[in-house]
Amino acid sequence: MSFSTKAHEDTHTPSLPVPSPVYAATGLDVWTMMNQAAAEVGAVNLGQGFMSFPPKEFITRAAQKALEKNTHNQYAPPRGRPALLEQVAARFSSRLGRPIDTASEISIHAGANEALLSVFTAFLTHGQNEEVIVMEPAFDQYAPNIAMAGGTTVYVPLRVQAPVNAVMSSDDWKLDMAELEAAVTPKTRIIVLNTPHNPVGKVFTRSELEQIGAVAEQHNLLIIADEVYEHLTFGREHLSIASLPRMWDRTVTVGSAGKLLGVTGWRVGWAVGPRALIQPTLAAHTRIVFTTNTPLQEGVAAAMREASANGFYETQRNEYKHRRDRLMAIFDDVGLPYVIPDGAYYLLVNAAAVRVPEDYPFPAAIADRGPNFRLAYYFVREFGVSGIPPAEFYCEPHRGLAGDYVRFAFCKTDEGLDAAAAALQKLKHCLQKQP
C-alpha cells in the first residue's frame, strides 16, 4: 500500500514549519490517480467502490424526513442517537446470539473508518512501538490509522493455493496459520480481520475463524473484526468471529451504514463489543470527532427499521449477485481468469495475458509505482475501463504478490457494466497465450 512515513526531502524549505512525517508524503493516492486517468479518456469507472446507482427511495426518504425535525439537526450524544443504537442492537443481537446493551456495548461513528481509528487510538500507546497484525491484501486505510494511533503494522499475506492462470474461488486464498503465529511478538496488541474481504471477496470459514481466535486467545490480543460487507455474501454464510465461544470478550466488530444501505457518502458506522472494549473506543471517538451527524443517524435508523420489514437485504443481495455474475461473464467472454468472490463487491481479474508494450509512455507517477500500477493504467488508457491495482493493498516487500491482478468493482449500473463489456472487446485482440 502507498502509505509512507518518509517525508519527501525537498518538499519544504528550512524556513517553514515542517509537518509530521506521517503526512509529509505528497504523492497522489491511488483513487485520485486512477479516477483522473479514467476521466481523461472517458473510461468506464469500475475502480473505486462507490455505487453508480441511487439508493432505494425509502432510504433517501428516511433522511429527508429526519431533516424536518429540529431535534434531529442538533448535536447527538457521542455514543449515538437512541433510535440507531436500538437498530444496531437488534441486528447484532440476532447475529451474535446474545442481547446487545445499547447503553454500553455500541458506539456510533462517522463511518466505519472512524470506528477503526477510534479502536486503534483506544488500544495503542504512542511511543511503545505496539504492533497490529493485518492480513494482506488489506484496505489501504488500516496502516495510516494504525500509524496515527502510534502503532506499527505487521503484514501477513493471504497465500493463493490454486493455479493463477485459471478461474479460482476466493476460498483458494488461505491464511497460513503458522505464518500468523510467527508474526506475533511481545509487542503485538491487535489482529485485524476483514470478512467478507476486500478486495479478494473471501468469506472466512468457521474453522479459519476458530484458528485466528485461538492465536488471539493464546497471546491475549484484541480482534478488530471489519465486517462492513457482512450482508453481501453469495452462497456462503458470513459468520462473525464475535459469535464464537470466548471471542466476544476480545472482539470489536465494525460495521457501516454506507455499505449496508448503499449510501457511502452518509459516513455513518458503528462498533459493537463488550463494555470494556467499547467504553475506551467511545472515549477516543469523543475526542476525534465528538459526535456523528444527527439527521443521518436518524435516517439510517428509520431505513434499517423499514429494510428489516420489506425484504430489502435479500433483494439487495440478489441484485449484487446479478452484477457479480454479469461482470464475471464479461471477463469469461474476453478470456481473462478471475477470483470468484463469495462476498463484497469486487472482482480480482488476472490480466497476465495482456501484452503491455515495453516502450509505452507511462506518466512518471505511474511508472514509479511498479508493474501492477502500469498494468491498471494501461487498462484505463487502452481499453477504456478503470480498475484499481491491488499492489496498493500490500506493503512494499509483498507488492509482488499482487501479480497481474486488477480489481474491478461491480457496485455499478447494468448500463455501466454493458459499457464495460463493449469497451473490453478490444482485449480479445491483445492477449498472449499463457502456459
pLDDT band at 28 (very low <50, low <70, confident <90, very high): confident
Residue 1 in this model has a pLDDT that exceeds 60: no
Residue 14 in this model has a pLDDT that exceeds 90: no
**What would the grid cell of residue 220 be?**
491475549
Q: What's the confidence (pLDDT) of residue 120?
A: 98
Mean per-residue pLDDT, 107-128 = 97
Window from 24-28, 69-73, 195-199, 207-211 with minimum mean pLDDT = 24-28
How many secondary structure helices (H) and strands (E) does the chain include? 15, 14
Q: What's the confidence (pLDDT) of residue 7?
A: 43
Q: What's the confidence (pLDDT) of residue 263?
A: 96
Q: What's the confidence (pLDDT) of residue 328?
A: 98
**What would the grid cell of residue 229 be?**
460487507
Residue 44 in this model has a pLDDT that exceeds 70: yes
Model confidence, pTM:
0.93
Percent of the chain with pLDDT over 70: 95
In contact, 253 and 221? CB cutoff 8 Å: no
d(CA 67, CA 72): 6
Residue 11 in this model has a pLDDT that exceeds 60: no
Q: Which of helix, strand or coil describes residue 408?
A: strand
Kindly report the number of other CB atoms within 10 A of residue 168's CB atom: 19
Beta strands in 74-151 (DSSP E): 106-109, 131-136
Which of 53, 65, 51 lies closest to 305, judged by CA?
A: 65
**What would the grid cell of residue 98 be?**
446474545
Mean per-residue pLDDT, 212-237 = 97
Amino acid, single-letter form, for residue 242: A
Per-position DSSP letters for 20-45, written without gaps between them? -HHHH--PPPHHHHHHHHHHHHT-EE
Residue 435 in this model has a pLDDT that exceeds 60: no
Amino acid, single-letter form, for residue 18: V
Q: Which of helix, strand or coil describes residue 354?
A: strand
At 228-278, the pLDDT tens digits run 999 999 999 999 999 999 999 999 999 999 999 999 999 999 999 999 999
d(CA 159, CA 401): 9
At 365-386, the pLDDT tens digits run 899 999 999 999 999 999 999 9
At 140-187, the pLDDT tens digits run 999 999 999 999 999 999 999 988 889 999 999 999 999 999 999 999
d(CA 131, CA 127): 11
| Phi/psi of residue 271, nearest 5 degrees | -125, 135
In contact, 297 and 83? CB cutoff 8 Å: yes
**What would the grid cell of residue 400 be?**
509482488
Q: Is the dihedral of CA 305, 307, 309, 313 positive or negative?
A: negative
